[in-house]
Amino acid sequence: MSHNAYEFLDHELLSRLGSLPVESRTAMIGNVAGRHASPHRGSSVEFAEYRKYVPGDDTRRLDWKAFARSDRFYIKEFEADTNLRAYFVVDASGSMAFAGKGESKVAYARRLAASLSYLMVNQGDAAGLSVCTEKVHLEVPPSRRPAHLQRIFKTLASLEPEGETGLVAALHEIAEKIGQRAFVVILSDLFTDTGELSEALQHLRYRKHDISVFHLMDPQELNFDFERPHRFVDLEDGTALVAEPSLIADEYHAALDDFMRNVRAKCNDATADYQLVATDTALEPLLREFLINRIPKGR
């Protein structure tokens, strides 16, 4: 694959971040040996605990030193390591096309999803992609094969936001479809009913998935720094409103603050890792902080 095949990939950035692992915050279940903690016991190098021997146990795991000390048989148990599977859920609704003075929200989501997918596959884990609108739900199943990245990048490159969001339905579908615990990364402006969003996040939590939410917002959406009358168009349903910004600014900020508090609370309730990201945020420090914060303490 050419290094210039996809303009949203910064290979120098990826090289600098390559030494930082993408870690899971919860125990994972996979089908190959890997670096992530599993809820099952195994025979890796990380010692977990002793338990008393019972008939049928593998006698090769008897600890003879413990027997010499106590005259009792004990079995050594170890933490099994496993691989991590990630689903990057990219909201491709019309509102994600908004770009104030910089890049659009979907362009930022594209760079973020592509970078994390690359880092995951590069460390031997599986990455998959889910792109959702109200009418379309495109899915690239997770795979550990480096060649699989080409399919993810091609799908990201072809994104054309339109229509209303299908995020909630997509999250429920993913929660039902994934048979094993996974790392679910949501990239969206979250312009949806917060009650319905909460139900979808709780569905993922019930299935024991590790959830990360990147709440992408344009600086103009956050600051509402318009200086003259504007015609504001809803990019999802097409409705329009002509207004004098200075007359509605206070009401807008109050509604936005209420929305942001509500979204953060719903994510916290579902133990989702929540991060508000303005689309003028430099990608490298954002990713570096995100990856470092996920490394288990004491490692």
Query: Is 296 a residue whose pLDDT tops 80?
Result: no
**What's the mean pLDDT in 251-260?**
95
**What's the mean pLDDT in 147-160?**
93
The pLDDT of residue 38 is: 44
Query: Is 19 a residue whose pLDDT tops 80?
Result: yes
Token digits of residue 177:
């479809």
Residue 248: pLDDT band by 50, 70, 90 thresholds?
confident
How far apart, in whole angstroms, are the C-alpha atoms of residue 166 and residue 134?
Answer: 4
- Signed CA dihedral, 90, 161, 224, 252: sign only: negative
The pLDDT of residue 50 is: 55
Residue 22: pLDDT band by 50, 70, 90 thresholds?
confident
Residue 57: pLDDT band by 50, 70, 90 thresholds?
low
Task: Tell me what percent of the residues of the chain surpass a pLDDT of 70.
Answer: 82
Query: Is 241 a residue whose pLDDT tops 90?
Result: no
Query: Is 236 a residue whose pLDDT tops 60?
Result: yes
The pLDDT of residue 79 is: 40
The pLDDT of residue 49 is: 53
The pLDDT of residue 83 is: 72
Q: Which residue has the higher pLDDT, 41 or 192?
A: 192
**What's the mean pLDDT in 141-152?**
90
What single letter denotes the amino acid at residue 259? F
Residue 69: CB partners within 8 Å, gap ≥ 6?
none
Least confident of 17-26, 62-71, 170-179, 206-215: 62-71
Residues 72-122: tens digit of each pLDDT: 776 665 444 447 899 999 999 999 999 988 899 999 999 999 999 999 999
Residues 184-197: tens digit of each pLDDT: 999 999 999 999 99
- Which pTM value belongs to this model? 0.79
Closest CA to 91 of 169, 34, 207: 169
The pLDDT of residue 48 is: 45
Q: For all residues of the chain together, what is the average pLDDT?
A: 83
The pLDDT of residue 255 is: 95
Q: How far is CA 271 from CA 16, 38, 51, 133, in A?
A: 30, 19, 32, 25
Domains of the chain: 11-22+83-294 (3.40.50.410), 36-82 (no CATH)
How far apart, in whole angstroms, are the C-alpha atoms of residue 174 and residue 268?
Answer: 20
Residue 253: CB partners within 8 Å, gap ≥ 6?
224
Residue 31: pLDDT band by 50, 70, 90 thresholds?
very low
Token digits of residue 15:
């090289």
**What's the mean pLDDT in 32-59?**
51
The pLDDT of residue 71 is: 74
